[in-house]
Chain A
Amino acid sequence: DAKTTQPTSMDCAEGRAANLPCNHSTISGNEYVYWYRQIHSQGPQYIIHGLKNNETNEMASLIITEDRKSSTLILPHATLRDTAVYYCIRRGTSYDKVIFGPGTSLSVIP
């Protein structure tokens, strides 16, 4: 079975960029990489997704390596409100099960 690996936890100073890595043991050509975050006891919130190219939106940037097995979510100027658990998942075009790993617990420190 394909496995997704993320660091268990990370710290980031307020105002600095937070770079959260994600690795997939395998990823199919039609599978997108999605990032979500979950602030304590709330429903997960969509952040960004991508297939091959790097992506940017108002919340974050997503860097995907050429082999697509690694991606990095970048929060350019982390704030205390960015403290959350961040999940990266693969999501294809078929009705695949959506597999969430344990995610990365990001703590933004004043």
Chain B
Amino acid sequence: KAGVTQTPRYLIKTRGQQVTLSCSPISGHRSVSWYQQTPGQGLQFLFEYFSETQRNKGNFPGRFSGRQFSNSRSEMNVSTLELGDSALYLCASSLLGGAGTGELFFGEGSRLTVL
């Protein structure tokens, strides 16, 4: 079956702009979580959605937001982009939200460059 699909794979924005990234989970998976990966900070948890509700949020400013639709697809948005937002943004889906037996399946990521 198809894996986790993230779009776009690469994008370039300038400071002050906003960006929306999309994630389509594996069919039947209801949990989607988002991560930011940078060389300096590594993989950092952004938020997790399950059944259209945000269940947990990492330590990121309010410029970072997300949502999940009824078909489990998820989007994340970053407003007022800063240079430090340049990163690989990864999405993962899981059959079970937050449960110990729900392994995460990651997409290939969206690489954002802010100029």
Hey, which bits of chain A sit against chain B, CB under 8 A? 30-32, 34, 36, 41-46, 49, 51, 87, 91-103
Query: Among B58, B88, B102, which residue has its beta carbon within 8 angstroms of that of A97?
Result: B58
A32 to B104, CA, bound (A): 13
A98 to B4, CA, bound (A): 18
A18 to B97, CA, bound (A): 32
Q: Which residues of A contact B103 (CB under 8 A)?
A: 34, 46, 49
| Contact A99:B101 (CB < 8 A) given known A41-B88, A42-B108 | no
Q: Which residues of A contact B88 (CB under 8 A)?
A: 41
Q: How many residues of B contact A (CB 8 A)?
A: 28
B100 in the interface, Cβ–Cβ < 8 Å?
A: yes
Which residue on B lies nearest to A91, using beta carbons?
A: B100
Stretch from B12-20, B42-50, B74-82 that touches the partner: B42-50
A92 to B96, CA, bound (A): 11
Hey, which bits of chain B sit against chain A, CB under 8 A? 4, 33, 35, 42-45, 48, 50, 55-56, 58, 88, 90, 92, 97-109
Q: Establish whether residues A32 and B101, one from each chain, have CB atoms under 8 Å apart when the complex forms.
A: yes
A36 to B106, CA, bound (A): 10
A69 to B7, CA, bound (A): 38
A11 to B65, CA, bound (A): 40
| Contact A95:B50 (CB < 8 A) given known A44-B90, A102-B42 | yes
Q: Establish whether residues A44 and B100, one from each chain, have CB atoms under 8 Å apart when the complex forms.
A: no
Q: Which residues of B contact A45 (CB under 8 A)?
A: 106
Q: Which residues of B contact A101 (CB under 8 A)?
A: 42
Q: Establish whether residues B108 and A92, one from each chain, have CB atoms under 8 Å apart when the complex forms.
A: no
Q: Which residues of B contact A30 (CB under 8 A)?
A: 100
Q: Which residues of B contact A99 (CB under 8 A)?
A: 45
